[in-house]
């Protein structure tokens, strides 16, 4: 029977410790897996140089992170949501209805999205129109909208290599997909005249018709991480993957990057606005937790400081395109200005 006593006492200790720890000592962050590496780099440096414990950083996706942020105010909800896209009206309304009325929107830099293929294959120089013409479900041939039958890149644009079309695009649950649709597919659709053809054909939503990708196995949705895309490109030497710039920079031994509109994607060309496919990265801070959770304000200030997010900081070394308006962000963080309501 002695083990019964032991169990009882251990249970009592567990219950005691549960009541003892009401407040939280460390910052909790959740959200986008694109922002995750940047967030962990900052968290690590923060833990080393400040007296506060290292923040706990979770992945899980931009949307999931924002929903967690908006669950309410209190130590058992997260303090910061990382996000690779802006907060939607739905999220903002959810926040407000749960009492999270003041949220700070911090834009800390930009991320480039690149097309990369096997290092030993031919080089590619794309335009958005090429990508759209290769992947869209419907294309314009001789002035008429027809099903896409292109099999090689040379069919799309004679200047491209005669390699089978096979592109691994991020799945619809990724924030990257939104940028891919918006900055590549829709722009390409306009450029090669398909958008006009859709409108002429009486499509209700020409943009939605543009974004329909072919389903014959030449455009493949990847729902996993970039590591999965890399594994697929490794297995199919004809494949072209869509990656984040920082992921490509860490795997330059296996991948070569394609130019877009004649511009090679680098942190410089993205910062200058020459490379067209990029997006801002954000994190959202719950203002009610500032001053309650120890270290939260310091972490946020440290994140946007020149030492971290500046052009020579470790985030830029990892592949972040630093924000030219970082000083404005720093001032906003100092003043703790909450974001305006999303309309």
Partner 1 sequence: MTDISPTSAEAPKRPQAHGSLLTATPLMKRRNAAETRFHAYGIAAIVVALLTLAIMLFTIIRDGHSAFYQATMTFPVTIDAAVVDKTGTRDVAEMTKVTTIGYARILGESLVKHLADEGLVVEGMTDKEITDMISKDAPARLRDRVLADTSLVGQTVTVDVFTGGRVDGYFKGRVTREIAERDSNVTVTQLDMADLMEEAGILSSQFNWSFITAPDASDLRPEAAGLGVALLGTLYMMLLTFIFTLPIGVAASIYLEEFAPKNRLTDLIEVNISNLAAVPSIVYGILGLAIFINFAGLPSSAPLVGALVLTLMTLPTIIIATRAAIRAVPPSIRDAALGVGASKMQTVVHHVLPLAAPGILTGTILGLASAAGETGPLLLIGMVAFVTNYPASPLDGGFLDPASALPVQVYSWASRSDPAFIERSSGAIIVLLIFLFFMNALAIVLRRRFERRW
SS3 40: helix
Shortest Cβ 56–partner 1 spacing (Å): 5
Shortest Cβ 149–partner 1 spacing (Å): 36
Shortest Cβ 253–partner 1 spacing (Å): 4
In whole angstroms, give the CA distance from residue 99 to residue 92.
Answer: 11
Residue with tokens 């009541």: 19
Q: Are 197 and 145 in contact (CB under 8 A)?
A: yes
- The token duo for 223 is 């729902």
Shortest Cβ 333–partner 1 spacing (Å): 19
Residue among 99, 49, 108 nearest 74 (CA) = 99
- The token duo for 212 is 């329909």
Residue among 314, 110, 100, 337 nearest 81 (CA) = 100
Residue with tokens 């030993």: 120
Residues 6+ positions from 86 with CB-CB distance below 8 Å: 105, 280, 282, 342
Nearer to partner 1, 53 or 171 (CB): 53
Shortest Cβ 285–partner 1 spacing (Å): 18
Nearer to partner 1, 4 or 335 (CB): 4
Nearer to partner 1, 224 or 273 (CB): 224
Shortest Cβ 7–partner 1 spacing (Å): 5
Nearer to partner 1, 23 or 335 (CB): 23
Q: What is the biggest distance separating any 2 CA atoms in the chain, rounded to whole angstroms?
A: 87
Nearer to partner 1, 41 or 136 (CB): 41
Nearer to partner 1, 206 or 296 (CB): 296
In whole angstroms, give the CA distance from residue 165 to residue 275.
Answer: 23
- Chain residues that interact with partner 1, rule: CB under 8 A: 4, 7, 10-11, 13-14, 17-18, 20-21, 24, 26, 28, 30, 33, 36-37, 39-41, 43-45, 47-49, 51, 53-54, 56-60, 71, 74-76, 78, 119, 224-227, 246-247, 249-253, 307, 314, 317-318
Counted residue by residue, the chain has a size of: 343
Residue 142 φ/ψ, nearest 5 degrees: 50, 45
Nearer to partner 1, 79 or 323 (CB): 79
Residue among 338, 337, 313 nearest 109 (CA) = 313
Shortest Cβ 128–partner 1 spacing (Å): 25
């Amino acid at each position: 029977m002695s083990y019964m006593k032991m169990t009882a006492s251990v249970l009592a200790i567990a219950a005691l410790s549960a009541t003892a720890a009401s407040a939280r000592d460390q910052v909790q962050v959740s959200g986008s897996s694109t922002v995750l590496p940047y967030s962990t780099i900052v968290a690590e440096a923060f833990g080393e140089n400040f007296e506060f414990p290292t923040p706990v950083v979770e992945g899980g996706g931009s949307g999931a992170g924002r929903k967690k942020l908006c669950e309410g105010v209190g130590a058992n909800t997260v303090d910061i949501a990382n996000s690779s896209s802006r907060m939607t009206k739905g999220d903002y309304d959810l926040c407000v209805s749960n009492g999270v009325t003041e949220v700070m929107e911090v834009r800390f830099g930009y991320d480039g999205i690149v097309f990369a293929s096997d290092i030993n294959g031919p080089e590619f120089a794309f335009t958005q129109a090429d990508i759209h013409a290769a992947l869209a479900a419907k294309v314009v041939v001789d002035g008429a909208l027809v099903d896409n039958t292109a099999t090689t890149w040379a069919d799309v644009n004679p200047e491209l290599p005669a390699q089978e079309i096979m592109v691994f695009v991020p799945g619809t649950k990724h924030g990257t997909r939104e940028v891919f649709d918006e900055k590549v597919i829709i722009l390409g659709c306009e450029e090669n005249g398909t958008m006009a053809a859709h409108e002429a054909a009486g499509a209700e939503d020409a943009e939605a018709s543009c974004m329909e990708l072919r389903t014959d196995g030449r455009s493949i949705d990847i729902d996993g991480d970039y590591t999965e895309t890399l594994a697929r490109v490794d297995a199919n030497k004809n494949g072209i993957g869509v990656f984040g710039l920082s992921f490509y920079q860490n795997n330059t031994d296996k991948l070569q990057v394609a130019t877009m509109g004649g511009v090679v994607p680098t942190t410089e060309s993205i910062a200058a606005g020459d490379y067209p496919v990029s997006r801002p990265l954000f994190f959202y801070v719950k203002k009610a937790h500032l001053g309650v959770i120890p270290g939260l304000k310091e972490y946020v200030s440290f994140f946007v400081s020149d030492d971290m997010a500046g052009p020579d900081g470790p985030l830029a070394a990892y592949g972040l395109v630093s924000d030219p308006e970082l000083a404005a962000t720093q001032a906003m963080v100092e003043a703790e200005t909450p974001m305006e309501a999303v309309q």
